[in-house]
């Protein structure tokens, strides 16, 4: 099995902490909080590093930590820094493509990822960052096994 990551937007930590946890990932529609969500098997730390190193050029050791909002035996909710989603709103195709290529060369547990898959993922994140901005929300991630 594996861990599922459900990224969503919320106006604040208290609201994010109330995300329905009784539902399984396939039951969460993405609009629990009026915000289209994003499902992925990619860890929030990896997404943060992908954006900040690939697009912003920040050294990996300077990527800010995630903020723990809720820790429960069955799930956790973490807040991603806005510096992870904000840079995606203003970049063009060339920057997204370059970041995807750079990140595709970084080995993870499964080996390097295909650059096109990373490119598609970054575009999903770009759309997500626009929806967050329009709603005035912060990025959060619901993590559960």
CB 57 within 8 A of CB 26: no
Strand order of the β-sheet with 4-10 is: 38-40, 4-10, 138-144, 75-79, 67-72
Predicted confidence (pLDDT) at residue 25 exceeds the cutoff of 70: no
Residue range 63-118, pLDDT digits in tens: 888 899 999 887 889 998 877 778 888 888 888 888 888 878 776 655 456 888 88
pLDDT at 22: 46
Is 3 or 143 the better-scoring residue by pLDDT? 143
Q: How far apart are CA 8 and CA 57, in angstroms?
A: 25
pLDDT at 110: 53
pLDDT at 30: 45
- Mean of the per-residue pLDDT values for the chain? 77
CB 132 within 8 A of CB 9: yes
Six token digits for residue 137: 């929300």
Rounded to a whole number, what is the distance in angstroms from the first to the last CA of the chain? 8
Is 2 or 36 the better-scoring residue by pLDDT? 2
Q: Percent of the chain scored above 90 by pLDDT?
A: 3
Predicted confidence (pLDDT) at residue 39 exceeds the cutoff of 70: no
pLDDT at 20: 56
């Amino acid at each position: 099995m594996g861990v599922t990551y459900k990224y969503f937007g919320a106006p604040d930590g208290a609201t994010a902490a109330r995300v329905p946890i009784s539902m399984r990932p396939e039951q969460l529609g993405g609009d629990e909080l009026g915000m289209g969500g994003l499902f992925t098997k990619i860890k929030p730390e990896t997404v943060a590093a992908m954006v900040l190193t690939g697009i912003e050029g920040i050294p990996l050791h300077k990527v800010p930590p995630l903020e723990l909002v809720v820790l429960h035996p069955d799930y956790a909710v973490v807040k991603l820094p806005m510096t992870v989603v904000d840079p995606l709103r203003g970049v063009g195709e060339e920057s997204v493509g370059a970041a995807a290529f750079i990140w595709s060369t970084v080995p993870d547990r499964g080996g390097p990822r295909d650059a096109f898959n990373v490119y598609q993922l970054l575009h999903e994140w770009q759309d997500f960052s626009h929806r967050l901005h329009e709603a005035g929300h912060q990025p959060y991630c619901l993590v559960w096994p």
